[in-house]
Structures are given as C-alpha cells and as structure tokens.
Amino acid sequence: MKNANDLSARELGFSKGETTTQSALEIMQKKELTGIIKDTASFESGVHLDFITADYQSRIHLFKNLKYARSIDFRSDAVLPYGYAVRAASVENRVYLLVLYRDAFAMTNQKIAAAAPTVSVLRFDEASFNEEGKISLKAIEEANEGLTRPVFVGYDLSQGVLLVARNSEGEIWTHGYFFKLKDNALQLDPVPIDQAAQCSCVQKYLTGGVSSLWEE
C-alpha cells in the first residue's frame, strides 16, 4: 500500500476552473494514490464531464469541459473503498452515476469479514448528485469466483450499461451484466461474454489490452 490517506481537493491542490483533468491525474500519481480511475461523458448540449477518483478516497472529483468543477462526497458507510469503477450514464434527460467499489478488507487475512462489492446509484439533481440506492454484488461475485478489474461499458441506462470483470485468478467472467433502469428501478440482466464481446471496447478488455477503459 502506498498512500491510503483520504485527500480532499484542497489537499490535492485542485483549483476550481483552473486545474485540468490531466493535471489532476498527474497530481494523484505524484501523491502515490493507487487504483486511479477516470470516466468521461459527453452530452448533446456540448458539455464534457470527467470523473476521477482512486483507492481509499471518499470523494469523486468532477471536471466540466476539462476543468475542475467540484467534488462529490461519496458515502461507502463503514467500508474503506478500493477498486473503483465509475460510469456516468443517462436515461432520457436524467443523468446518473454508477459507482462500483469493494472493501479493502478483501485484500487482507480478514477478507472473510469484508463487505460485498457494491454499486451505488447517484442521480444528478439540479447541482448535486444524490444517492438513490445501492446494489450488492455478493451473489455475482460468488457465482464468478471473485470480482477484480471491473469495467463499465455503455452510457444508456435504458438500453443497458454493461459490467465486465475478472475472477480472483484474473480470468474473464463467463457473463457480463447489464444495468438497466426500468420504471425508476435498476435491474441486472446477465449476458454471455461472447455476446458482450461484439463491442470493440469489451474485446480490448478481454484480450488484456486495457485494465480500465481510460487507458486506451
């Protein structure tokens, strides 16, 4: 473990309207944060959003048109989060943020006491993201003999945002899972990985070309 400190935007030196997404990523690397991830979403209005975070952080930093805008406080209850995967997605005119995180205890000899991997669903409402609910991935993790290197693919929650990952031995799951929003309720639909691999982004992940999609 390098730096497990939970750092605020101020401690990282982020300045609103000035710090760029790339500069922020470089700062986090210099601070020796691990598991740094970035997700990007562009909308028809021309707005470009980047979301970045890292292991053991309680905040997701939001960048609008490549400049730091604000930080989203993320509640993981008593869990020390690591192994994030983040995806900004939409349904009609509503924007949601899917946040997958795991319990750091899973990396220790106390892993039997670790909380299950969880996806938190945040909805953008006016000027803030508010949590709408959480989904446990305990059954999915157990069925696939582990959950590592998770990646979300897709941006449309009405059609489905796909989750793909690997088991504890690094082998690709036999199925991916579509997150779909139906009648204001989030549902999970499994899909064979061969079918999911029709997407070029998934193909790159399956062949080991990237461990997270922002590395492309």
| Length of the chain (residues) | 216
3-15: pLDDT as tens digits: 889 999 999 999 9
**β-pairing verdict for 94-103 and 118-125:** antiparallel
d(C-alpha 30, C-alpha 27), whole Å: 5
What pLDDT does 214 receive?
Answer: 41
Q: Say if CB 131 and CB 139 are below 8 A apart.
A: no
For 14-60, write each residue's pLDDT tens digit. Answer: 999 999 999 999 999 999 999 999 998 887 777 888 999 999 999 99
Give which of 21, 36, 30, 133 is closest to 83, Cα–Cα. 36
What is the per-residue pLDDT across 163-189, written as a single tens digit (0 to 9) for each? 999 998 989 999 999 998 887 778 899
Helix (H) or strand (E) holding 169, with range, is: none
- The model carries a pTM of 0.86
